[in-house]
């Protein structure tokens, strides 16, 4: 069975972690293929919350193999701490459950320092970076000066590479940002120690094991981080992340061919959120936006920052369907909209007096659009305990149907709460 890619169809924080955890019950492997510890995937199992930043969300299923591929930038110190936390909760008891690619880029402390110093030095609009060092780490990979995970196991070569890369980084830290330099010997010693702790998870070629699973007709889930509108090439640049977040990245980040992908599942909330700066056409800077933020607990799992909230944006969603080749969709956090007398949906943009249903090619244009909002009747009922689709309020099903009809893509999964059991299936995707 070819693979299934799960991607965020908005600006991230759509609920991908929960969905991957639910799907993992029927998956043999879950693969993280891009991004880094700037991801924050929140899982709730039997009332217990687990937040994962680097480990794939399938880790809570002991029979599911989890893989971190070469497309990910790995904060090895953060990963070690995350592994220890997961193990202390009773998971990842078998080290063979997790595999880390030798070709993954290692995110180092100076990447974080640079990231934060650059953001602080910006005089205009801040990018809104998490400060986790993701951008500088990907820069080093593109500049062919990155430390790879496999390098950690060649002490002499590692030292040489650290001396080379820190010559430039320390110059920047000291002379441009007035920040303390990084000592090569101390970092080298710290990396050798953490390498020893992570050695049991080392896998030289994750592309090989992922392809073997696919060729053996196993069920493989590819777990995206962030969201479509934060893609480095196709998002609201420069207010984006530093990796490609769209479905095609699953192939390049994992080392598989595009013919191995059968489904692309676009995950989106029943409303829209984004963290940090950048255009947000449907943003609600009023008591309605505040209610959505409060009811939805819209605060970042990685940074704790409050998320900006607004109505669902179908123009941006249609764009996500196009650039990802989305075949199925998952509607998350429908329960948060309970209690609204009316619910808005953006069906078009007005730009310079003209109405369009296509996302502007220029992010600067997107900042100037006026959303065309249609309102549907809301519902008062608490739907968080509903277990069958037929029991949803009529206005809730009308809302779902309106979205599906306008997207031209079926809604196959509906989430009415954070727990695994709070998931309503329209169609079982693994059997299709």
The answer to whether the peptide bond before residue 149 is cis (omega within 30 degrees of 0) is no
340 catalytically annotated: no
List the beta bridge partners of residue 30: 66, 221
d(CA 27, CA 25): 6
The tokens describing 128, both together, are 């809104």
**What's 146's DSSP letter?**
P
Angle between helices 394-407 and 314-324 (to 10 degrees): 50
**What's 147's DSSP letter?**
P
- CA-based torsion, 168, 173, 175, 181: positive or negative: negative
Catalytic residue among 28, 41, 115, 140: 41
Residue 62: Cβ within 10 Å count: 12
Nearest to 6 by CA among 332, 350, 397: 332
The contacts found for 47-51 with CB under 8 angstroms, 24 or more apart, are 47/419, 48/89, 49/418, 50/86, 50/89, 51/301
CA angle 252, 31, 255 (to 5 degrees): 25
Catalytic residue among 13, 75, 151, 335: 13
d(CA 153, CA 148): 10
Tell me if residue 158 falls in helix, strand or coil.
helix
297 catalytically annotated: no
**What's 68's DSSP letter?**
E
Active site residues: 13, 41
């Amino acid at each position: 069975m070819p693979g299934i890619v799960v991607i965020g169809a908005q600006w991230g924080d759509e609920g991908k972690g929960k969905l991957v955890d639910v799907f993992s019950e029927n998956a043999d492997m879950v693969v993280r293929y891009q991004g880094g510890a700037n991801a924050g995937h929140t899982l709730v199992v039997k009332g217990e919350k687990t937040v994962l930043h680097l480990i794939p969300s399938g880790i809570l299923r002991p029979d599911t193999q989890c893989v971190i591929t070469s497309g990910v930038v790995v904060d090895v110190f953060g990963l070690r701490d995350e592994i220890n936390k997961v193990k202390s909760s009773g998971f990842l008891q078998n080290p063979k459950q997790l595999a880390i690619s030798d070709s993954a880029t290692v995110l180092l402390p100076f990447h974080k320092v640079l990231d934060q110093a650059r953001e602080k030095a910006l005089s205009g609009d801040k990018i809104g970076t998490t400060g986790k060092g993701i951008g500088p780490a990907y820069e080093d990979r593109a500049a062919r000066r990155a430390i790879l995970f496999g390098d950690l196991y060649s002490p002499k070569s590692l030292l040489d590479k650290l001396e080379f890369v820190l010559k430039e980084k320390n110059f920047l830290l000291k002379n441009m940002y007035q920040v303390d330099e990084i000592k090569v010997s101390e970092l080298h010693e710290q990396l050798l120690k953490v390498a020893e702790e992570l050695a049991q998870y080392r896998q030289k070629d994750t592309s090989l094991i992922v392809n073997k699973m696919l060729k053996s007709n196993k069920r493989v889930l590819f777990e995206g981080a962030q969201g479509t509108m934060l893609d480095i090439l196709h998002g609201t640049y420069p207010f984006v992340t530093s990796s490609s977040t769209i479905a095609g990245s699953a192939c390049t980040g994992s080392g598989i061919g595009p013919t191995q992908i059968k489904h692309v599942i676009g995950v989106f909330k029943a409303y829209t959120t984004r963290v940090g700066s950048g255009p947000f056409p449907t943003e609600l800077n009023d008591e309605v936006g505040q209610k959505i933020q409060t009811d939805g607990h819209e605060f970042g799992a990685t940074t704790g920052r409050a998320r900006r909230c607004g109505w669902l944006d179908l123009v941006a969603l249609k764009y996500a369907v196009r650039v990802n080749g989305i075949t199925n969709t998952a509607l998350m956090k429908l329960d948060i909209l309970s209690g609204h007398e009316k619910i808005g949906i953006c069906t078009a943009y007005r730009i310079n007096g003209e109405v369009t249903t296509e996302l502007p090619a220029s992010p600067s244009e997107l900042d100037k659009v006026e959303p065309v909002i249609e309102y549907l009747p809301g519902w008062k009922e608490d739907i968080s305990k509903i277990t069958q689709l037929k029991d949803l309020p009529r206005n809730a099903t009308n809302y779902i149907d309106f979205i599906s009809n306008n997207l031209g893509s079926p809604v196959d999964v509906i989430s009415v709460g954070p727990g695994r059991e709070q998931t309503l299936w329209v169609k079982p995707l693994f059997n299709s």
